[in-house]
């Protein structure tokens, strides 16, 4: 019995390492935009062994192929695998924003932002969604937070200039437009 248990543990360990290797290889192929090889490798991993990142990558590949419903399913599988995996919420939010499901986008951007407080692009995209919803003050708050995290991204300043213009604050709007121009023209 002891020998059987040892052999069973070795086989289970080998499966785990094989899944990790396939996952690493798939990630490398994904980075090289070789989507077919990426899919082939991830699909070799047993569903129970797939990581949240594996599900996310499958979602990304399917979304790029135009299989939107399947992509959403994969992002949701990533979340069920790891409810703290912010990238899945972020990708879902991007999908919803692109398809004018703005309230769903806001909900998912907020969740992603709560899980990763250091990513300014989450806050930026949340702000852009608020702009589309006409919630300008919420957009302002999130753009200011994004700029606090990274003040070197021109689009953050440009959109904040737009927001301040909408709030009828022309001096602040001009300040951020000047920042945008400095960042895009190399400080000239």
pLDDT, tens only, 134-153 = 999 999 999 999 999 999 99
CA distance 95 to 168: 32
Under 8 Å between Cβ of 131 and 162: yes
Section 48-65 average pLDDT? 94
Number of other residues whose CB lies within 10 A of the CB of residue 46: 10
Helix residue ranges, H only, the chain: 2-31, 35-43, 52-64, 68-81, 86-98, 102-115, 120-133, 136-149, 154-166, 170-184
Half-sphere exposure (CA, 13 Å, Cβ side) for 46? 8
Quickly state the pLDDT bin for 131 (edges 50, 70, 90).
very high
């Amino acid at each position: 019995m002891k020998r059987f248990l040892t052999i069973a543990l070795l086989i289970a360990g080998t499966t785990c390492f094989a899944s990790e290797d396939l996952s690493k290889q798939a990630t490398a192929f994904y980075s090289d935009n070789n989507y077919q090889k990426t899919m082939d490798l991830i699909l070799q991993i047993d569903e129970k062994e797939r990581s949240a990142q594996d599900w996310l990558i499958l979602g990304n590949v399917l979304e790029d192929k135009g299989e939107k419903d399947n992509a959403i399913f994969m992002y949701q599988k990533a979340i069920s695998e790891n409810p703290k995996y912010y990238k899945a919420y972020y990708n879902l939010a991007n999908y919803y924003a692109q398809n004018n499901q703005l309230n769903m986008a806001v909900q998912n951007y907020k969740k992603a932002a709560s899980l990763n407080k250091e990513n300014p692009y989450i806050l930026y995209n949340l702000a852009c969604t608020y702009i589309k919803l006409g919630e300008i003050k919420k957009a302002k708050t999130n753009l200011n937070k994004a700029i606090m995290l990274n003040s070197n991204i021109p689009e953050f300043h440009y959109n904040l200039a737009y927001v301040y213009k909408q709030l009828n604050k022309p001096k602040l709007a001009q300040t951020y437009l000047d920042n945008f121009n400095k960042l895009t023209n190399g400080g000239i």
